Amino acid sequence: MLKRYKNELKIGIMLLVLGGIIYFILLIKKVLLPFVFGTFLAYLFNPLITFLRKRNISRITALYILILVVLILFISISIFILPIFIRELEELTVTLPKYVNSLEKYVEYVNREYRRIHLPEVIKEVIDQALAKLENFILNFIENLTTSVINSLTYIVSLFISPIITYYILKDYEEIQSSFLNIVPKKYRKPVLKSGREISKIFVGFLRGQIWVSIIVGVFSTLGLMLFKVKFYLLLGILAGITNMIPYFGPVIGAIPAVMIAFLSSPVKAFGVIILFSLIQQVESSIIGPKIFSNRVGLHPLTIIFVLLAGADIFDGWGLIFAVPVAGSLKVIFKIFIEQIISIKGLSGQE
C-alpha cells in the first residue's frame, strides 16, 4: 500500500517538474532562443564534422574548415546580395505607406464604379460587405506582417551569439553528450538515448529538409519576380523562401505580398506572379509530397495547424518555423514519459 502511494507521489512530482520546466522556458524564451538556435545549427553541421573526421581529420581542424566555408559564403552574400537587400529594405520603408494608400484608393474606386451599375439592393449590400472585409483583410495583413517582421528582428539581435554557442557545442560535442548521459541515472539512460535519437531524427531531419527546399523556393521566387520586374524582388523572394518553411500556410503567406505589390503595378503582372508561385508550389509539392509533415513528425494535420497557431502566438514568426518539429519532439518525450509511468504502475501492481 505504502509502495503504491510512493509510486503515485513519484509520478506527481515528475508531472510537477515537467510543468515547472515548461513554465520556466516560457518565462525566459528570449534568452533561450540563441541557445536553441545555436544547438540546432550544431546538429545541422555535425554530420559535416563527422564526414571529415572519417577522413582522419581531427575534430578541431574539421571545425575550422567548416568555419572557413561558412565565412566564404557569408562574405559572398555580403558582397553580392546584401547591398540590394538593404537598398530594397530602405525603399520599402519609404513606399509602404504609399502602397497602403493606393490600395485604399483602389477599393474606393471599385466601390464607386459598381454603384453606377443598377443592381438589386441585396446584391449591393453583399458587395459592400465583401469590399469592407477585403479592405480590412488587406490592412490587417500588412499591419500583422510588419509587426511580425519587427518582432522577429528583435530576436535576430540576440541570435548573433548563436554562432559562438554552435562553435563550443561542435568543439566539445562528444564531451557534452557524455556529460549529459552521466547526469542521467543508469536506469533511465536507455529511454533517454531512445528519445534523443528519435528527436534528432524528427527535429534535425525535418528542418534540414525544409531549409534546402526553402532555399530552392527562395531562389526560384527571386529569379521569377526579377523576370517579371516586380519591385523588391529580392525581399519578396527571401520572404517566400522563409515562409515556405511554415507547413500549409507558408506558400500563401509568402505569395500574398508579391501579388499585392505586382497588382499595384499591373493586374496582368499580378496574374503572372500568381502563376509563378503556383508553378513553384507544384514543383515544391512534387519534391516533398503533400503529407511530408505528418509522416516526418508523426502529427495529425489538425495538430499541426494548432501548434502553428500556438507557436505564432508565443514566439511570433520564429514560432511558425520551429513549432512543428518542436511539437514532434515533445510528442516523443511525452510518449516515453507515459511509458515510464506505466512501467512504474506496472511494478506497483505486481507488488
Query: What would the pLDDT profile of 269-319 be if each residue is shown by its tens digit?
Result: 999 999 999 999 887 776 655 445 455 666 777 787 888 888 777 776 667
Residue 193 and residue 226: Cα distance in Å, rounded?
48
Query: What would the pLDDT profile of 20-70 be if each residue is shown by its tens digit?
Result: 877 777 777 777 778 878 888 888 888 889 889 888 899 999 999 999 998
Measured from the Cβ of residue 43, the count of other Cβ atoms closer than 10 Å reads 20
Query: What would the pLDDT profile of 193-221 be if each residue is shown by its tens digit?
Result: 777 777 777 777 777 777 878 888 999 99
pLDDT of residue 291: 47
Q: What percent of the chain has pLDDT over 70?
A: 76
pLDDT of residue 221: 94
CA dihedral 173, 177, 178, 183 (to 10 degrees): 140
Overall pTM surpassing 0.85 (yes/no): no
pLDDT of residue 329: 79
Residue 236 and residue 231: Cα distance in Å, rounded?
9
Averaged pLDDT, 312-332: 76
Measured from the Cβ of residue 171, the count of other Cβ atoms closer than 10 Å reads 15
Q: CA–CA distance from 21 to each of 18, 31, 123, 192 (Å)?
A: 5, 15, 56, 17
Residue 96 and residue 90: Cα distance in Å, rounded?
10
Residues in contact with 170: Cβ distance below 8 Å, sequence separation at least 6, in sequence order: 42, 45, 46, 49, 59, 63, 66
